[in-house]
Amino acid sequence: MKRSVALGLGLALGLGAQAARAAEPPRADAAPEILAVPAQPVKGDVIQVQPGAPCMSPSDDGDGGKACCWYGSAEYLLWWIKDANTPVLVTRGAPGQLVPGALGAPGTSTLFGGRGVDLGEHSGGRFLAGAWLDEEQKLGFEGVFFFLANQGTTFSARSTGDIGAPILSRPFFNVNSGFEDVDPVAFSGILGGTVSASLTSRLLGAEANGRAGLLRGDSYRLDFIGGFRYLDLAESLTIAQVSQELPVGTGDTLQLFDRFHTENRFYGGQVGLAGTVGGGPLVAGFFAKVALGGTQQTTHVSGGTKIINAAGEVEAADAQGLYAQPSNIGSHSHSDFSVVTEVGANVGYQLTTAMRAFVGYNFLFWSDVGRPGDQIDRNVNVQPLNFNGQLGPAQPRFTFRDSDFWAQGLTFGIAFNY
């Protein structure tokens, strides 16, 4: 009995003390009690990550995973490049002129050259792969490779050489006479022939960069980029003709070609800025880079001539053409200081936490490059060769002529991180 009374008294005192404490006002220095309830992600939900914030890897389930340490992108490029300048290479002459097709002669019209040649749109690709060295994504490194596939334009003109048919010519300046002259391709009643020209261009490049975070917020980030840049531009211009004495099959056939191939390789250091901004699923990106270095220019000049008789036998052959003569044939190289700048912007949609689709625009500028049409010297010595070489001045001469180059266009790509 006494034990039951004691237990009851103890329970009553305990409940009374608890009630008394509950009735007391809270102390000013007392820490509030917080009931922490962990948030559980709903199956199927996508966790949106703002640009600049540490992203979650695709395997994370929302329980506080790690920041992404790998990133990259793959793009399809649809670009256009600066038109290629060439001298007037093919003309149509008017009958009755002393030198039909010569530049400046009445009735002469230009069929190819004399202005910028449009090389059309170029398809290509660009690939970026990078890694962060820390979870805060403050320091990283990346590599970039891009290319524009070989693309160009072709021209062809043909004339039977019958009376009244077009007169086709290849114009040049005759250093011996001091006047404009032509190499006839097709001439009324004398020659029938075909002349063609092709101009191609291919561009590729690579980068190795370090990346350092400058500014970062919930919906933006800005990074510094610094590293090494390489560019490679290769272009070729070929002019060819086939002329047959009339009537066809009874006389000689002349085959002749000139080829100018240029290669430009840039090596230099670069700096730049890159960043993203946006909230929700829409993200905008941008970058600007400038590189300083040297461009190694190489031009290969070659040519060939064949005279084939009616029986199909080669009567004469020589490794020279019209604009490619012993005086300029061969490989020529030199280096120039160059500046390369590139800017780009894009807008994308976040497909998942690890993947974004985007579309954008790029502009690339490259100073002091050599292009094939600029390396042609129209001044030609047409005197025959003797045992001592050319009679008169040794022309055409080879002289490096530089010009600026640009490429621009649209990009369509996928960016990812992991």
Question: From CA 207, how far away is CA 366, in angstroms rounded?
Answer: 15
3-state class (DSSP) for residue 13: helix
Q: Closest by alpha carbon to 116, among 360, 348, 405?
A: 405
Question: From CA 227, how far away is CA 291, in angstroms rounded?
Answer: 9
Contacts of 232 (CB under 8 A, 6+ apart): 203, 204, 205, 263, 264, 265, 266
**pLDDT per residue as tens digits for the range 270-296:** 999 999 999 789 999 999 999 999 999
Contacts of 24 (CB under 8 A, 6+ apart): none
**pLDDT per residue as tens digits for the range 331-358:** 999 999 999 999 999 999 999 989 999 9
Angle at alpha carbon of residue 244, lines to 107 and 261, rounded to 5°: 75
Question: pTM for the whole thing?
Answer: 0.82
User: Beta-carbon neighbour count of residue 310 at 10 Å?
Assistant: 13
Question: 393 and 371 in contact (C-beta within 8 Å)?
Answer: no
**pLDDT per residue as tens digits for the range 214-246:** 999 989 999 999 999 999 999 999 999 999 999
Among 11-15, 185-189, 343-347, 380-384, the range scoring the smallest mean pLDDT is 11-15
Distance of CA 380 to the CA centre of its chain: 35
Question: 290 and 339 in contact (C-beta within 8 Å)?
Answer: yes
Q: What is the pLDDT of residue 249?
A: 85
**pLDDT per residue as tens digits for the range 76-95:** 999 999 999 999 999 999 99
Q: What is the pLDDT of residue 311?
A: 93
User: Beta-carbon neighbour count of residue 265 at 10 Å?
Assistant: 17
Token code pair at residue 61: 């389930």
Q: What band does 4 get if pLDDT is binned at 50, 70 and 90? A: very low
Question: 367 and 338 in contact (C-beta within 8 Å)?
Answer: yes
Question: 377 and 393 in contact (C-beta within 8 Å)?
Answer: no
Q: Please give the mean pLDDT across all residues of the chain.
A: 85
Question: From CA 205, how far away is CA 372, in angstroms rounded?
Answer: 20
Q: What is the pLDDT of residue 384?
A: 54
Contacts of 56 (CB under 8 A, 6+ apart): 47, 49, 62, 65, 66, 67, 68, 353
Distance of CA 226 to the CA centre of its chain: 20
Q: Residue 347, exposed/middle/buried by CB under 10 A (0-12, 13-18, 19+)?
A: middle
User: Beta-carbon neighbour count of residue 154 at 10 Å?
Assistant: 11
Q: What is the pLDDT of residue 394?
A: 83
**pLDDT per residue as tens digits for the range 95-149:** 999 999 999 999 999 999 998 999 999 999 999 999 999 988 899 999 999 999 9
Q: What band does 393 get if pLDDT is binned at 50, 70 and 90? A: confident
Question: 195 and 161 in contact (C-beta within 8 Å)?
Answer: no
Question: 392 and 106 in contact (C-beta within 8 Å)?
Answer: no
Q: What is the pLDDT of residue 279?
A: 78
Q: Where are the domains of the chain?
A: 67-417
| DSSP string of 206-247, one letter each residue | EEEEEEEEEEEETTEEEEEEEEEEEEEEEEEEEEEEEEEESS
Q: Closest by alpha carbon to 269, among 223, 232, 230?
A: 230
Q: 67-417, superfamily in CATH?
A: OMPT-like (2.40.128.90)
How do beta strands 330-352 and 314-318 pair? unpaired
Question: 264 and 299 in contact (C-beta within 8 Å)?
Answer: no
Q: What band does 201 get if pLDDT is binned at 50, 70 and 90? A: very high
**pLDDT per residue as tens digits for the range 12-62:** 334 333 433 433 444 434 434 433 334 443 333 333 333 333 343 333 334
Distance of CA 104 to the CA centre of its chain: 38
Element (H, E) at 361: strand 355-370
